[in-house]
Amino acid sequence: MTLPAEWNDLVLSAVMPVYNEGKTLEQAIDRMHTVPIRVEIVAVNDGSVDDSGEVLDRLHRDGRIDRVIHQPRNLGKGAAVRAGIAAATGHVIVIQDADLEYDPADLPALLDPIRVGKADAVFGSRFQSGPRRVLYFWHSMGNRLLTLLSNMLTDLNLSDMETCYKMVRADIMKALPLVSDRFGIEVELTARLAKSGARIWELPISYSGRTYAEGKKIDWRDGVAALWHILRFNLIPPKASKK
C-alpha cells in the first residue's frame, strides 16, 4: 500500500485522558518527549478534582503539551478519548494513559507497521512476550475472558482486546462511529475497527500495572459492564447520525 505523500513528515497524536492523575502526570508527559518520533500531545482533563487541571495548564504554557481540553465534569474515559480524537491533527492517533502503566518507549515499534503501509491499526499486547509487573491473577483472567468473547464476535485473534495502546490511522479513527463515555471505549474501538475491515496488527509491549493503593481505577463492575459492551457493539448496529 502506498502511503499519502504528506506522511513523509509523519506526526503521531497521543490522546491522553486525565482524571485525578496529578501525581504522575508530569512524569508521563516527560516520558512522551523521550520518544524519537514527532508526537502531538492532546490531553483531556476529564473533570479532575485534584490538581491535574493546573498541572496540564502549566505544561501547556511550558510547551510540553500541544492541546489541553477541560471537560466541564467527569464524563468518563470514553468521552475524553472521543474529545481528544476530534482535536487531534496527526496522521496516526494512539491512546496514552497518564498513570505510567504504559511506556511510550514502545510507541515507535507500534507505529512501524502503519508507517510502512502494512497495517491500519496496531494493538500493544500486555500478554505476549513483553516484560510486565506481576499483579492480580483474576484481573488477568478477566482480561483474557473478555478478549475471548470479543474475538468470538469480531472474528479477530487478539491476545489483549482491553489494552490502552490502540494505535490507528487518523483518517480511520476519526471515521469510526464512537459513542462510549466510559471504559467501554476499549471494546467499542475493537468492534468498530473489526467492522470497518481495518488491517490490525498486534505487538508485545511492556506493562507496569498499578495496585488499587497506587490509584488503579478499574474494578469488577467495569468487567461486568464490558460484557454488555461486547454484545452491544458487536451485535447492535450503530445509530445513523443525524444530518
Vertex 182, ends 180 and 184: CA angle to 5°?
Answer: 60
Please give the pLDDT value at position 210.
Answer: 46
What is this structure's pTM?
0.87
- Helices 185-196 and 137-154 pack at an angle, to 10 degrees, of 30
* Tally of CB atoms within 10 A around 134: 7
> What is the distance between the alpha carbons of residues 186 and 182, in angstroms, rounded to a whole number?
9
* Averaged pLDDT, groups of 10, the chain, 243 residues long: 67 97 95 96 97 97 97 95 98 94 95 97 87 58 85 95 96 96 90 97 85 52 75 78 47
Please give the pLDDT value at position 236.
Answer: 79
- CATH architecture of residue range(s) 8-235: Alpha-Beta Complex (3.90)
Cα torsion angle, 121, 177, 3, 198, sign: positive
| DSSP letters spanning the chain | -PPPGGGGG--EEEEEEESS-TTTHHHHHHHHTTSSS-EEEEEEE-S-SSSHHHHHHHHHHTTS-SEEEE-SS---HHHHHHHHHHH--SSEEEE--SSSSS-GGGHHHHHHHHHTTS-SEEEEESSSSS-B----HHHHHHHHHHHHHHHHHHT---S-TT-S-EEEEHHHHHHS-----STTHHHHHHHHHHHHT--EEEEE--B-PPPTTTT----HHHHHHHHHHHHHHHHSPPPPPP-
